[in-house]
C-alpha cells in the first residue's frame, strides 16, 4: 500500500526553534545544519557565546558552507523566515515577538553574556508558547537552563544534546538536572527529530506565567525596572557583579537565580564564579599594595637610624607576613569553586 507523506501547510509553519550553545558550539552547529533539508519548515534562532569584539563572520560563513539553509546575523525588525538561521550579533541580545520579528538590543548581560541564551529562550516562550522548541547544545556552566525552563513552563518542547555526545557537557547536564527534557539525543538525530515534531500535533497550550512575561519585558525594554524585579522575588544581601546594585532572588522554579533591577541576571553557579573572580582581583590588588608598602618601609628604614629604622623594618616584616599569606591563597587551586560548583 502506497503511503502519502503529509503535506506541510501554512498552518504548520508557525513553529519556532531556538538554540543555545557555547564552548564547542561551532562544530556542534556545523553538524546540526548538515542534517537539515533545504525546505526546513521553521525559522531557527541561535545564540552562541562569542566575544564582544568578534565579527561572527567565520561562524556564518562556515554554516552557510556546511548546510543548505541560509544563515545570517539578525538585525532589528527583520522578519524571521522559514529555512533561515538567524544568529545573535556580537555584544547584542536577540529576541523575537509574536509576529516573528526580531529584536536586537544592548540589554544588560545575563549570566555574564551578551548575547545571552536565556533572554532569547524567554522571548520565544512568551511570543510562541507551545509552538516554541528550545535546544541546548554543548557549553560551560548553565546559561540556557532558565530559558529552557521557561519554554517548558509555557508548553513548548525541550531538546537537550546528550551530554555524552557534547564536547563540553556542562550546559546539557545542567539543563537536564533542572528540566524534564522531551528529548535527550545526539546532534545526528536532531534533524529527523525536529522534522517529525513539526509534523506532529501541537502540545497543549498553557497560559504564559506572569513572571516569565516580566523577565522577557525587562530584556526587551532595556530599562531599570524596580517594580518588575520586586514582583519576581525578594532582595538578598548580595551585590550584582555587573553594576554593584542589590540583587533579588528569583522565587519561581527550582533553579536558584538572582537578578538586579538594571537587568543583570545570574544563576547561583555563575554568581559564585563571578564572586570568585572579584575576590581574586581584590587579592591581587592587596598583594600589590602590601608589596609597595614593604618596599617603601624598607627604603625609608635605610634613611633612618636607631628606633625609627628598627620600627620601619618591623613594619616591613609584618607586611611580608601578609604578602606570604596572600600569595599562598592565590596559589591555591580554586578551580573547584569556578568550574565544579554544587548542583
Q: What pLDDT sits at residue 261?
A: 85
**Residue 338 and residue 341: Cα distance in Å, rounded?**
7
Number of alpha carbons in the 13 Å side-chain half-sphere of residue 237? 0
Closest to 103 in 3D by CA, of 79, 128, 72, 81:
79
Q: What pLDDT sits at residue 333?
A: 58
Q: What pLDDT sits at residue 275?
A: 87
**Residue 214 and residue 252: Cα distance in Å, rounded?**
12
CA torsion sign for 320, 322, 328, 333 is: negative
Q: What pLDDT sits at residue 205?
A: 87
Using DSSP's 3-state secondary structure scheme, residue 296 falls into helix
**Residue 224 and residue 262: Cα distance in Å, rounded?**
4
Nearest 10 degrees: Cα torsion 63, 157, 103, 37: 30
What residues pair up with 133 in beta bridges, in sequence order? 17, 157
Q: What pLDDT sits at residue 222?
A: 60
Q: What pLDDT sits at residue 224?
A: 62
Which residues, other chains included, contact 30 with Cβ-Cβ below 8 Å and sequence gap of 6+? 62, 63, 66, 67
Q: What is the value of pTM for the model shown?
A: 0.81
Which residues, other chains included, contact 322 with Cβ-Cβ below 8 Å and sequence gap of 6+? 286, 290
Q: What is the pLDDT along the chain (343 residues), one digit of tens a residue?
A: 444 444 433 344 489 999 999 999 999 999 999 999 999 999 999 999 998 888 889 999 999 999 999 999 999 999 999 999 999 999 999 999 999 999 999 988 999 899 999 999 999 999 999 999 999 999 998 999 999 999 999 999 999 999 999 999 999 999 999 999 999 999 999 999 999 999 888 888 899 999 999 888 888 876 666 777 888 888 999 999 888 889 999 877 778 999 988 889 999 988 998 888 888 899 999 999 999 999 999 999 999 888 999 999 999 999 999 999 999 888 875 554 334 444 3
Using DSSP's 3-state secondary structure scheme, residue 264 falls into coil
- CATH for 16-199 is 3.40.50.180
The residues that are catalytic are 22, 49, 143
Q: Assess contact for 18 and 11: CB atoms under 8 A.
A: no
Kindly state the cell numbers that stand for 288: 600589590
**Bond into 115 cis (ω within 30):** yes
Amino acid at each position: 500500500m502506497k503511503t502519502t507523506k503529509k503535506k506541510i501547510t501554512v498552518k504548520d509553519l508557525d513553529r519556532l526553534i531556538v538554540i543555545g550553545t557555547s564552548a564547542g558550539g561551532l562544530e556542534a552547529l556545523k553538524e546540526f545544519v548538515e542534517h537539515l533539508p533545504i525546505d526546513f519548515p521553521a525559522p531557527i534562532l541561535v545564540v552562541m557565546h562569542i566575544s564582544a569584539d568578534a565579527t561572527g563572520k567565520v561562524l556564518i560563513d562556515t554554516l552557510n558552507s556546511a548546510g543548505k539553509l541560509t544563515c545570517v546575523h539578525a538585525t532589528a525588525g527583520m522578519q524571521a523566515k522559514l529555512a533561515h538561521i538567524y544568529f545573535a550579533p556580537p555584544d547584542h541580545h536577540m529576541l523575537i515577538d509574536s509576529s516573528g520579528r526580531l529584536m536586537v538590543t544592548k540589554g544588560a548581560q545575563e549570566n555574564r553574556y551578551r548575547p545571552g541564551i536565556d533572554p532569547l529562550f524567554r522571548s520565544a516562550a512568551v511570543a510562541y508558547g507551545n509552538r516554541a522548541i528550545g535546544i541546548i547544545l554543548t557549553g560551560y556552566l548553565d546559561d540556557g537552563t532558565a530559558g529552557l525552563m521557561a519554554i517548558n513552563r509555557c508548553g513548548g518542547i525541550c531538546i537537550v544534546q546528550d551530554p555524552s555526545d557534547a564536547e563540553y557537557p556542562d550546559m546539557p547536564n545542567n539543563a537536564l538536572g533542572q528540566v524534564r527534557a522531551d528529548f535527550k539525543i545526539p546532534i545526528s538525530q536532531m534533524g529527523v527529530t525536529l522534522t517529525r515534531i513539526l509534523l506532529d500535533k501541537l502540545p497543549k497550550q498553557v497560559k504564559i506565567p506572569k513572571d516569565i512575561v516580566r523577565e522577557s519585558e525587562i530584556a526587551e525594554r532595556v530599562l531599570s525596572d524596580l517594580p518588575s524585579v520586586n514582583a519576581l522575588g525578594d532582595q538578598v544581601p548580595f551585590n550584582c557583579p555587573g553594576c554593584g546594585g542589590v540583587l533579588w532572588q528569583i522565587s519561581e522554579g527550582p533553579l536558584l537565580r538572582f537578578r538586579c533591577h538594571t537587568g543583570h541576571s545570574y544563576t547561583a553557579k555563575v554568581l559564585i564564579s563571578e564572586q570568585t573572580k572579584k575576590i581574586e582581583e581584590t587579592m591581587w590588588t592587596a598583594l600589590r599594595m602590601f608589596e609597595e608598602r614593604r618596599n617603601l618601609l624598607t627604603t625609608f628604614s635605610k634613611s633612618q637610624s636607631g628606633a625609627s629604622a628598627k620600627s620601619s623594618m618591623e613594619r616591613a616584616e609584618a607586611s611580608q607576613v601578609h604578602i606570604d599569606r596572600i600569595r599562598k591563597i592565590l596559589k591555591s587551586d580554586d578551580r573547584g569553586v569556578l568550574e565544579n560548583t554544587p548542583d
